[in-house]
Chains A and B, each alone.
Chain A
Amino acid sequence: MNEAELIAACLAGRREEFRHIVYAYKSQVMALAVNILGNREDAEDACQDTFVQVYRHLATYDPARSFRTWIFMILHRRCLDTIRKKKRFSQFFQKAVRDSEPEGADRPGRFDSGGIVDPRMLEALRPKERAALTLWANEGLSTAEIAAVIECAPSTARVYLFHARRKLKALIEERKRHGTLGAR
C-alpha cells in the first residue's frame, strides 16, 4: 500500500494501518525532535504526541502538500510547546532555588539537558535555527519546504538557516582553536 492508500485506509476506520505510517516516519520524526529539544525523553513524548495529532487530524490533511512536511510541521509545533513549558518551569524552579539560597551561594546556571546533542550547539542555536539546520542537513529540504515546516516566509526560513550555519561554523572553528576535533 502506498502512502495515499494508507491514509485512505485510516480514514475508512482501519486504525491498524496507521502503524505503517508510524513505522515509516518514526526515525526521522524522532531525530528531528532530538535535535530541536536536545534530549531523548522529551523527544519521545513529542514524537508520540505528533503521531496522535497526525492521526486525529488526518481528515484535514491536504494531499496537495507533502505528507512528510505536514508531519514535521506538527512535530515542530509540539517541540516549541515543550520548550515553552520547560522554560516556564525552569524560570519558576530557578526562582525557587534563588529564594531559598543564602546570598552569594553558587547558583545553578541552566538545566542539564541530559541530552545527546552537544550542549554548546543547544545553547548557541535557537530552536527554530536547530529545526532549520536539521531539515536542511539531515532531510535535504529546500528553503520553501523548511518554511512550510516552521510556518514562516521562505526568506525568514533562510535567515534561520543562515544564522544556524554561521553559528555552527563558529563553534567548529572555536573547537579547532582549542585543539579538539570532531563533533561528538
Chain B
Amino acid sequence: MGHWALVKLAVSVFPRGKVRDAVFRHVDRCPSCQARLVDREAARKWLVQADQLSGLDGIWPAVRKAMDMSPAPTAVAERGAAFLSAPPPSGPALRFLRWAAAAGGIVGAAALILLALSAFGPMGVDYAAGTVPPSDPLQIQSASIAGRPADAYVIEIPEDRMILVWVEPRPRKGGES
C-alpha cells in the first residue's frame, strides 16, 4: 500500500483521536504528502476573491429595508432579559408545570419505546434471505486476488454507518509481494 493511500485511509477511518493527529503531523512534515495538497496561492486562483466582486452597493439598502421590518437588537435582548429575570412560577402555575412536564416525559418515553421496538424488535424486522442481521459483525472467511491468497481487513465506523474492507495480497515467503 502506498503511503499516500495509507494517509487518506487513516484520515477517513479515524474520525478523531491521536491516530489522526499523528497522521496530520506527518502530512505537515512530509514533502511527498504536501505535494499532493494544493497550496494557498493555487487554491486562491480557483476561488472568488473579495476584490473581484463589484456591484455590491445594493446590499445595504436591502438590509436596511429588512431591518425596518425586524425588531431592534436591544428589543430582542430585553425580551431575553425579561424572560430571565421573570420570577419563577409558584402555586397553581407551578403545579400545572410539574404535571405537564411529567406527562410530557411519559409520552416521550412511550414514543421512544415504540420507535425502538419498530426498528429492532419483532414488529419491524424482516430480514431478506441472505442478508446479515445487524448484530452479526461482518466476517470474511477467505479472500484471494487473482487466485493468490490475500488478507482481508474489516473496519467498521458505526457513526458514519460505514464498513471499510481492505484486501491485499498476502506477502510471499522471502518478502516478495
B59 an interface residue at 8 Å Cβ cutoff?
A: yes
- Are B59 and A156 in contact, CB atoms less than 8 angstroms apart? no
- Are A137 and B11 in contact, CB atoms less than 8 angstroms apart? no
A26-B59, A27-B56, A31-B53 as given contacts; A159 in contact with B11, CB under 8 Å: yes
**Which A residues touch B27, using CB under 8 A?**
162
Nearest-CB distance from A129 to chain B (Å)?
A: 11
A10 an interface residue at 8 Å Cβ cutoff?
A: yes
- Are A48 and B66 in contact, CB atoms less than 8 angstroms apart? yes
Q: Among B46, B49, B76, which residue has its beta carbon within 8 angstroms of that of A118?
A: B46
A155-B16, A162-B11 as given contacts; A11 in contact with B67, CB under 8 Å: no
**Which B residues touch A137, using CB under 8 A?**
40, 43-44, 47
CA distance A31 to B50 in the complex (A): 5
A10-B73, A30-B53, A117-B48 as given contacts; A133 in contact with B43, CB under 8 Å: yes
Q: Among B50, B60, B66, which residue has its beta carbon within 8 angstroms of that of A28?
A: B50
B8 an interface residue at 8 Å Cβ cutoff?
A: yes
- Are A27 and B43 in contact, CB atoms less than 8 angstroms apart? no
- Are B50 and A138 in contact, CB atoms less than 8 angstroms apart? yes
A162-B27, A162-B37 as given contacts; A59 in contact with B73, CB under 8 Å: yes
A57-B76, A138-B47 as given contacts; A156 in contact with B16, CB under 8 Å: yes
Interface-side segment among A17-25, A70-78, A99-107? A17-25
A97 an interface residue at 8 Å Cβ cutoff?
A: no
- Are B38 and A168 in contact, CB atoms less than 8 angstroms apart? yes
Nearest-CB distance from B38 to chain A (Å)?
A: 4
- Are B21 and A155 in contact, CB atoms less than 8 angstroms apart? yes
Which among B46, B49, B66 has the highest number of chain A CB atoms within 10 Å?
B46
- Are B49 and A138 in contact, CB atoms less than 8 angstroms apart? yes
- Are B73 and A55 in contact, CB atoms less than 8 angstroms apart? yes
CA distance A33 to B66 in the complex (A): 19
- Are A56 and B24 in contact, CB atoms less than 8 angstroms apart? no
A59-B77, A133-B47, A137-B40 as given contacts; A15 in contact with B72, CB under 8 Å: yes
Interface of B is mostly: helix
Q: Among B16, B45, B53, which residue has its beta carbon within 8 angstroms of that of A34?
A: B53
**Which B residues touch A184, using CB under 8 A?**
45-46
**Which B residues touch A13, using CB under 8 A?**
72, 74
Among A66-100, those with CB < 8 Å from B are: none
B84 an interface residue at 8 Å Cβ cutoff?
A: no
A22-B59, A47-B59, A158-B24 as given contacts; A60 in contact with B77, CB under 8 Å: yes
CA distance A162 to B38 in the complex (A): 9
B80 an interface residue at 8 Å Cβ cutoff?
A: yes
Q: Among B24, B38, B63, which residue has its beta carbon within 8 angstroms of that of A22?
A: B63
- Are A59 and B63 in contact, CB atoms less than 8 angstroms apart? no
B62 an interface residue at 8 Å Cβ cutoff?
A: yes
Instruction: Supply 15 further A-B pairs (C-beta < 8 A) apart from A15-B72, A166-B36.
Output: A13-B72, A15-B67, A18-B67, A23-B60, A26-B56, A26-B59, A52-B66, A56-B73, A57-B76, A60-B77, A137-B44, A137-B47, A156-B16, A165-B37, A182-B45
List residues of chain B with CB under 8 Å of any chain A CB: 8, 11, 15-16, 20-21, 24, 27, 36-38, 40, 42-53, 56, 58-60, 62-64, 66-67, 70-74, 76-77, 80
10 tightest Cβ-Cβ pairs between the two chains A and B? A59-B77, A27-B50, A58-B73, A137-B43, A165-B37, A183-B45, A169-B38, A31-B50, A183-B46, A168-B38
